[in-house]
């Protein structure tokens, strides 16, 4: 579960998020939908502990408000940022294994990710800097799934992907949820890309509207 209570962020004296309260339950995909500049990325960064915030953050029932970003990752929160944040000089395999070694993850996490994303395997020996934008998104997704034993935060994960790659990626996310029971929160500008989500929050100018349930 990912939960925020009255999450607020101000940057340079300007309020970016205003009392954002959302909940992404386990074993489901929850979408945070809004236009560019609405506060989606700021919300995910705050949940991940990458920026200072007011309000409270809970991960799998545990309050994480005062836990730093690396501590939240250790709790089992995976994060795929909009700009990927890969190590460009490392290979794809090295980018993934850094997370395994840093967090002491079992090797079977890698095998799970490879089984869900077999298209990653031909890329393992390539430098991250040599990949296309869509391929880099897949690697960032793989890293997030690798770490996200309890929760996964995906920021504009479909950006730069072909329609087929987007469809395939949506299937991967659903299969990951079904396999692990993790909570997944997807921030996306285009609501068409997140039709697979069970729950939707709309965000505009830093304010999140009430929850919508899209499926029975």
For residue range 4-36, what is the model confidence (pLDDT) as tens digits?
999 999 988 889 999 999 999 999 999 999 999
Question: 118: burial class by Cβ within 10 Å (0-12, 13-18, 19+)?
Answer: exposed
User: Is 126 or 134 the better-scoring residue by pLDDT?
Assistant: 126
- Residue 26, token pair as written in the block: 């386990």
Distance CA 136, CA 152 (A): 17
- Residue 149, token pair as written in the block: 């034993």
| pLDDT per residue as tens digits for the range 135-156 | 999 999 999 999 999 999 999 9
* pTM given for the model: 0.93
Mean pLDDT along residues 200-212: 84
pLDDT at 114 over 70: yes
Closest listed residue to residue 60, CA positions, set 44, 40, 42, 74: 74
Please state, rounded to an integer, the average pLDDT across all residues of the chain: 92
User: Is 54 or 213 the better-scoring residue by pLDDT?
Assistant: 54
8 A C-beta contact, residue 165 and residue 132: no
Q: Confidence class of residue 216 from pLDDT cuts 50, 70 and 90? A: very low
φ, ψ (nearest 5 deg) of residue 19:
50, 50
E strand residue ranges, the chain: 2-11, 14-20, 23-24, 28-33, 54-59, 62-63, 77-80, 151-155, 183-188, 199-204, 207-208, 212-213
Mean pLDDT along residues 177-194: 96
Q: Confidence class of residue 179 from pLDDT cuts 50, 70 and 90? A: very high
pLDDT at 208 over 90: no
pLDDT of residue 212: 74
pLDDT at 159 over 90: no
Query: Which residues are 30's β-sheet partners?
Result: 185, 199
pLDDT of residue 215: 57
Class of 2-210 per CATH? Answer: alpha beta
pLDDT of residue 72: 95
User: Is 108 or 160 the better-scoring residue by pLDDT?
Assistant: 108
Closest listed residue to residue 183, CA positions, set 108, 85, 79: 79
User: Is 215 or 126 the better-scoring residue by pLDDT?
Assistant: 126
């Amino acid at each position: 579960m990912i939960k925020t209570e009255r999450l607020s962020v101000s940057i340079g004296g300007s309020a970016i998020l205003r009392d954002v309260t959302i909940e992404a339950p386990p074993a489901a995909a929850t979408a945070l939908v809004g236009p560019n500049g609405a506060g989606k990325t700021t919300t995910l960064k705050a949940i991940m502990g990458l920026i200072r915030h007011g309000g409270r953050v809970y991960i799998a029932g545990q309050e994480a408000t005062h836990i730093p970003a690396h501590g939240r990752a250790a709790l089992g929160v995976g994060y795929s940022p909009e700009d990927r944040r890969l190590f460009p000089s490392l290979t794809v395999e090295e980018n993934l294994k850094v997370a395994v070694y840093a967090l002491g993850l079992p090797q079977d996490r890698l095998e799970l990710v490879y089984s869900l994303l077999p298209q990653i395997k031909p890329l393992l020996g390539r430098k991250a800097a040599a990949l296309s934008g869509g391929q880099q998104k897949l690697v960032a997704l793989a890293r997030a799934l690798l770490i996200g034993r309890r929760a996964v935060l995906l920021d504009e994960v479909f950006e730069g992907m072909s329609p087929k790659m987007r469809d395939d990626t949506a299937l991967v996310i659903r299969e990951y949820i079904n396999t692990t029971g993790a909570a997944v929160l997807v921030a996306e500008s285009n609501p068409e890309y997140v039709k697979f989500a069970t729950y939707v929050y709309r965000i505009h100018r830093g304010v999140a509207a009430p929850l919508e349930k899209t499926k029975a």
